[in-house]
Amino acid sequence: MTTDDDAIDAASMLTGQSLPALLVLDPDGQPHAIVPGSQLIQQLLPAYIAEDPLLAGVVDERNDADLAEHLTGLTVAEWAPRHLYPPPMVGPDARPMEVAALMTRTHSPLVAVIERDGPQVTLLGTVTAARLMQHFIGAP
């Protein structure tokens, strides 16, 4: 998703693909930030619940559906938290152990795979923690 994309579309992609985070690209298509799903959920919560999580236990569940309305008309840049996480990136020839070490060091559930051609960066894809774990343990 880019910073200019619709927040509802980004939320649909996050949920539809069960992603742990969003890789946000700038308007030029360059990796801009990794935003963990937990941080995006936090942006949906009313401020009083974020400040006092005990209040979440007394709020009527009918209000849950209203949270999506907060995304209406917002771009990804407006939805994302003010503090963004720089995207960890590897080249296309990075070995799984290198990706794992980078994920561990950056505490990111997602790593961007890029190719550089001088100053130009092309996004080739991403590696998720779940996919990397699948590689290491051989799970289907």
pLDDT on residue 96: 96
pTM summary value: 0.76
Q: Where does residue 33 rank: exposed (0-12), middle (13-18), buried (19+ CB within 10 A)?
A: buried
Beta-carbon contacts of 124 under 8 Å, excluding residues fewer than 6 positions away, are 92, 113, 114, 115
State whether the Cα torsion 82-107-49-75 is positive or negative: positive
Nearest to 112 by CA among 101, 99, 126: 126
Run means of pLDDT, 10 residues per run, the chain, 140 residues: 91 89 88 86 79 77 70 86 82 96 93 91 92 88
pLDDT on residue 92: 96
pLDDT on residue 120: 85
pLDDT on residue 81: 76
pLDDT on residue 63: 64
